[in-house]
Each structure stands twice: as C-alpha cells, then as structure tokens.
Chain A
Amino acid sequence: MDKKLPDNTLPAALARNDPAAVEMLWERYADDLFAYLLVVLCSRHDAEDVLQTVFVKIAQKRNRLAKARHLDAYVFRIARNEASRFIEHRKRKRTAQAVNDTWLTVTEEQPEPIDLAEHIQAALARLPEQQREVVVMKIYRQKTFLEISRLLGLSQNTVSSRYRYGIEKLRTLLGDLIS
C-alpha cells in the first residue's frame, strides 16, 4: 500500500466524515486494488467496473472502515468479495471474459513485446486464482510475504507455499521462453 500517508490520517478523515478521504483512499489503494482485480478477473474492462463498485462500497461503509482494526485487510476484503460476486454473476449469465482483452503489457525494449505479454498473460490466467493473486502481488506490486498475508488474511506460510506452487506451475508453462 502507498505509504505516503501517515497511518492514522485516513482513519481520522473517515471518522470526521471528510469527503477528502476519497482522494486519500485512491492514493493509497487504487494501484494495488486495480492490479489485484486485473489478475483475478483477467479483464481490464471488468476490473475498472469492479474497482468503481469497490470504491462506492468503501464510501458507503466508511464508518465501519474508520473503526476497522486492519484497514488494508478490510479494504481488500471488500475487493475480494466484489470480485467473487462479479465472477459468479459472469458465470450465471454465461458470459465469458473478453478473449482479446489485454491486461498485461511489456516494455517496448523487449523483442516481440506483444507475444511475450500474451504468453505471460495466458500462463498467469491458467494458474489457480489463489496462486495467481499471490504471484502478482509479489512480482508486480513488490509486496513481501508478510504484507500479502496481512492483506489476504492468510498465514505467511500459506502465502509462501502458494507462491512456490505458482512459480513451479509457471516454470512448466513458460519453460520454452527461458530455455
């Protein structure tokens, strides 16, 4: 999470019922939540919609949020619930996610950047959701296992073992690219 804000600034703004807390929430959580939703939903468009729902929910539940013992975990719990609800909704309506939806990009210096992005995206999409979220938080958001365990409400051992299994599976899926 963004550490630009002191830890008590956001809860204090929430407790004061100060609308400026919305901007603080964005500064602190938007990047992490968006990354999380991208890899869980595997669709940029869906991630944007769900992120909006998450922020609206946070605004509505601001009083509970102000009293939450672990603010980051509470916010992430809202995001996880909304993502699960969205996936259920997608299953019920039998609408598959957009096949050509690109949610991972590669820097231009790489040779054949599009292909590499597609390969990595496809490989990540084949991971179980629990492993995928840990791998992405670790690799792309530079979180430690301790931070991930706090965010997801899991033990550190569980997080590290999920990461290990995820990397092993990616080694099988992307082995051709590293050889």
Chain B
Amino acid sequence: MNEKDIESKQIEELLRKAHLPGPSPQLHERITIAAKNAWNQTETELSWLVPFGRLVASAAASILIIWLADYTSNCSLGQWSSGLARTVNRQPAEIEALPEIPYGPFVRSLVSDNRRSSMIDASALNNHVESLWHILDETLQNGLAEPSAPAGDRSLLIPNPSSDNPYS
C-alpha cells in the first residue's frame, strides 16, 4: 500500500468521525401527513387512459400535419394550375408496350393494371355520347322541339343529328 492509499484510508476514517443526521420524528409526521393528503387527493389514473391519450394526441397531430401540408401545397401550386392548359402525358398500358420496365412480368402486369385503371375508358364515353344523341334525336322526332322554329334558325349549339358523329 503506497502513501497515497494510506492517506485515502485516513481521509475515509476522518470522514467517518462525522455523521449525517436522520430525519426527525416531527419531519416524519409532517411528511407522511402531506403524502397521505396527496394520496387521497390524487385520483387513481386509469391504466388505459395514458396510452389512449397519447394515441389520440398523435392522431390529431398527424391529421393536422397532413392538412397543413395539403393546404400549403395548394397555396403554392394554385398560381400555376389556374387558367393554364393541362398536359396529359398518356403512358402505354399494354404489357407488350412496357419494355422500359426492367422487371419481370409480374411487376409489368402490376404497372399495366395501375395505368389502365387510371385511364378514361374511351369506348364507354363513346357509348354514353351516342346514347345521348339517340335520346335527343327521338325527342326531336316526337315533335317536342319548338314547331315554329325554322330549320335554319336552329340553335347552333344543338348539333344536327344527321351530321357525322365525331365519336361514332
């Protein structure tokens, strides 16, 4: 044991000559009364309430963040979107026309389905317009149209049913 260790031992012995006082009985009484009062006043927390509260708070925060992101996005992009012509980039939906996708057939079919679902069905639109023309034609033939109006005064807004249907 070197001199340093001996001195450390001596310091420890010196420190042990003193002692820390414990809490007095009066303090014991005062504190236990205060603690029991706090015990009785504090409602027992429901065990599920804390995690439920956290869940609600996080859900509310996420909704707020999404709403804010959407709002700021609309605000910042609104000036470019209004009044300008929109360009639609139509991508091929057929599997054979997807050579640029460097994945297997499964991924290609997924991409194809996804693109197809987002496309407007041209034939359905065509059928719908044709049915509208048909209804209009029948209405005109049944004489519900204005009888006094000469054929020449016909509104230009209503196309002539005998003309070529651009969708047919």
CB nearest neighbor in A for B22 = A31
A-B CB contacts (within 8 Å), total count: 108
Among B14, B15, B19, contact of A105 (Cβ-Cβ < 8 Å): B19
Is B167 part of the binding interface, using a Cβ–Cβ cutoff of 8 Å?
Answer: no
CB-based contact B27/A60 at 8 Å: no
B31 CB within 8 Å of chain A: yes
10 further contact pairs, Cβ within 8 A, besides A30-B23, A55-B35, A106-B18: A22-B36, A34-B23, A44-B21, A48-B23, A52-B30, A59-B36, A107-B17, A107-B19, A117-B18, A171-B11
Q: Do the beta carbons of A39 and B20 come within 8 Å of each other?
A: yes
**B39 close to A (CB within 8 Å):** yes
Contact A62 B31 (CB under 8 A): no
B4 contacts which chain A residues (CB < 8 A)? 171
The 3 residue pairs across chains A and B that have the minimum distance between CB atoms: A59-B38, A55-B35, A59-B39
| A167 partner residues in chain B, CB cutoff 8 A | 8, 11-12
Interface positions, chain A 1-56, Cβ under 8 Å from B, are 17, 19, 22-23, 25-26, 30-31, 34-35, 38-39, 44, 48, 51-52, 55-56
Q: Which of A19, A34, A44, A170 is close to B36, meaning CB atoms less than 8 Å apart?
A: A19
A26 neighbours in B (Cβ, 8 Å): 28, 31-32
Cβ-defined partner of B20 (8 Å) among A23, A55, A104, A178: A104
Chain B contact residues, CB within 8 Å of chain A: 4, 7-8, 10-12, 14-23, 27-28, 30-32, 34-36, 38-40, 42, 44-45, 47
A85-105 interface code vs B (CB 8 A; 1 in, 0 out): 000000000000000000111
Asked if residues A120 and B38 are in contact (CB atoms below 8 Å), the reply is: no
List 19 contacting pairs A-B, 8 Å CB cutoff, sorted by A: A19-B39, A22-B35, A25-B35, A26-B31, A31-B23, A34-B23, A51-B23, A51-B27, A55-B31, A55-B32, A58-B35, A59-B36, A59-B38, A59-B39, A59-B42, A60-B38, A63-B45, A170-B15, A177-B14
Distance from A11 Cβ to chain B, minimum over Cβ atoms (Å): 15
A121 to B16, CA, bound (A): 12
Q: A interface vs B, CB < 8 Å?
A: 17, 19, 22-23, 25-26, 30-31, 34-35, 38-39, 44, 48, 51-52, 55-56, 58-60, 62-63, 103-107, 110, 116-117, 120-121, 135-136, 139-140, 167-168, 170-171, 174-175, 177-178
